[in-house]
Amino acid sequence: MPVTRGFSRRRPDSAGRLPPGQYDTGAGWPVLTAEATPRIEREAWSIGVDGLVDRPTTWTWDEVQQLPTSSYSGDIHCVTTWTKLDTVFTGVSLDTLLAAAGPQAEAAFVMAHSSTGYTTNLPLADVTDGKAWVVWEFDGKPLTAEHGGPVRLLVPHLYFWKSAKWISRLELIAQDRPGFWESNGYHDRGDPWLEQRYQGDA
Ligand SMILES: Nc1nc2c(c(=O)[nH]1)N[C@H]1C(S)=C(S)[C@@H](COP(=O)(O)O)O[C@H]1N2
Ligand SMILES: [Mo]
């Protein structure tokens, strides 16, 4: 079957990797922040896992560095239609944090909290089994403040609003409740391949 290659700004490797309605943003990385960018020293940062867990646990920057590191190599997708291909983030898997805290049987959702007050909700199943990280490096360099440094959440298989910048707390809950953007019209789950952009989308 003949294939006609039309004019395209897309890099060849974007074929098949762009979810519907997304474009390849190339080398750029847009910044999307609802609040003022906080300047948080690594030494002042910590993350807590609490709510419906057997062992509520808080890790400081030094303590999180002692955990086994884990990297993500792949793409990220923003609901504003940019996709960034071939990103590399390094941090720790949420599986590691959750295993330490011990989710209770009733825990079914996670509310991710930023130290700024930003929140986003996720089914527990979307942040377990190697699907989510807290990360402090992008392309081998410390994550910059504008992109959520020192440490942000990374849930790359969902639209990027789920990846809370300046992450400080993961609260395990039984009943789903909307976070910041989910209360402002965004879809509850946000799967880019299903184009779950806004409430009412599939
Ligand atoms: N704390 C916080 N986290 C946030 C946001 C925000 O406004 N505040 N914006 C979200 C949205 S809509 C997107 S697309 C990504 C943007 O991340 P970036 O600025 O690193 O591209 O962060 C997400 N996490
Ligand atoms: Mo976004």
Mean local confidence (pLDDT), 44-73: 98
- DSSP letters along 62-90, please? HHHHTSPPEEEEEEEE-TTSEEEEEEEEE
Q: Closest Cα to atom 5, ligand 1: which residue?
A: 33
Q: Which of 35, 133, 163 is the pocket-test mutation for ligand 1 (most atoms within 8 Å of CB)? A: 163
Closest ligand to C-alpha of residue 113 is: 1
**Helical residues (DSSP H) of the chain, grouped into ranges:** 61-65, 94-101
What are the domain boundaries of the chain?
41-176
Cα–Cα distance measured from residue 191 to residue 202, given in angstroms and rounded to the nearest whole number: 10
- By residue count, the chain amounts to 202
Mean local confidence (pLDDT), 156-178: 98
Cis before 192? omega within 30: no
CATH number belonging to the domain at 41-176, selected among 3.90.420.10, 3.90.1150.10, 3.20.20.20, 3.40.630.30: 3.90.420.10
What mean pLDDT is reported for the chain? 94
Residue 129: CB partners within 8 Å, gap ≥ 6?
Answer: 95
Check whether 7 has a pLDDT greater than 50.
no
Check whether 1 has a pLDDT greater than 60.
no
Q: What pLDDT was estimated at residue 15?
A: 76
Q: What pLDDT was estimated at residue 168?
A: 98
Mean local confidence (pLDDT), 60-75: 98
Check whether 133 has a pLDDT greater than 80.
yes
Q: What pLDDT was estimated at residue 73?
A: 98
Check whether 6 has a pLDDT greater than 50.
no
Q: What pLDDT was estimated at residue 121?
A: 98
From the CB of 163, is ligand 1 less than 6 Å away? yes
Q: Where are the beta strands (DSSP E) in the chain?
A: 23-24, 46-51, 57-60, 70-77, 82-93, 109-114, 119-123, 133-138, 141-142, 152-154, 167-173
Q: What is the band of 62 on the pLDDT scale with cuts at 50, 70, 90?
A: very high
pLDDT digit string (tens) for 106-118?
A: 999 999 999 999 9
Q: What pLDDT was estimated at residue 33?
A: 95
Q: What pLDDT was estimated at residue 202?
A: 87
Q: What pLDDT was estimated at residue 3?
A: 43
Closest ligand to C-alpha of residue 180 is: 1
Mean local confidence (pLDDT), 173-183: 98
Instruction: Find out whether 26 and 75 touch, Cβ atoms under 8 Å.
Output: no
From the CB of 34, is ligand 1 less than 6 Å away? yes
Ligand 1 centroid distance, CA of 105 (Å):
30
Q: What pLDDT was estimated at residue 12?
A: 53
